A = this chain, B = another copy of it.
């Protein structure tokens, strides 16, 4: 899970790099993503930058406003609910499948993953911890050997990171990975139904930790910030 830095940047690697930056909260919701600026940063032309931004907009991580540029997306409360609704349909059953077919090797990988997450958290690298926490969920879909579902979950995870950036309640206490440990135990026992239940609860806990009262997001940094 090392960082991205290819010899030569392509639209895909740039998109991946930006997605990771968004996921790690280094690019907060609403950030303007100017084409020239990005082009210079990566040493590529606007053609490739635009391709990357379009890719991210398809994943709803970036909002493309016509003639106005690209911005890191700001999911609404409604969208936040929808994202977790989708996750609640996909992830529990996928966790169950994973538990029923997991190998010792994958189990070891997962454990390492958790350890990294733990280390990052205690090293104060909350961005990296958040990213790894998301990767854990993606790994599960990979273990279930469901690439199609994995792609959906991957998108939903990144979008969840934006949602957390906007609506996370307790700023201090980070996502305690207790739930992830419990899941690993279920995997180790090949207990599918338990894994399904644990994942379901985990997702419910997550939404519960959000403040999803109707505060419209759009006015974001001006009207709302100025309180008028």
Hey, which bits of chain A sit against chain B, CB under 8 A? 50-51, 54-55, 58-59, 79, 82-83, 85-86, 89-90, 93-94, 146-149, 152, 156
Knowing A89-B89, A90-B90, A93-B89 are in contact, say whether A83-B148 is a contact too (CB < 8 A).
Answer: yes
A47 CB, nearest partner CB in chain B, Å? 8
Q: How far is the CA of A149 from the CA of B86 in the complex (A)?
A: 6
CB neighbours of A94 from chain B (8 A): 89
Knowing A58-B58, A152-B152 are in contact, say whether A86-B51 is a contact too (CB < 8 A).
Answer: no
CB neighbours of A51 from chain B (8 A): 50-51, 54
In the complex, given contacts A82-B147, A89-B90, A89-B149, what are 10 additional A-B residue pairs having Cβ atoms less than 8 angstroms apart? A50-B51, A51-B51, A54-B54, A54-B55, A79-B147, A82-B148, A83-B148, A85-B148, A85-B149, A89-B89
Interface centre among A55, A58, A86, A93 (most CB of B within 10 A): A86
Q: Do the beta carbons of B54 and A85 come within 8 Å of each other?
A: no
The majority secondary structure among interface residues of chain A is helix
The 7 closest A-B pairs by CB, nearest first: A82-B148, A58-B58, A86-B148, A86-B149, A89-B89, A89-B93, A89-B90
Q: How far is the CA of A91 from the CA of B146 in the complex (A)?
A: 17
Q: Do the beta carbons of B148 and A79 come within 8 Å of each other?
A: yes
CB neighbours of A59 from chain B (8 A): 58
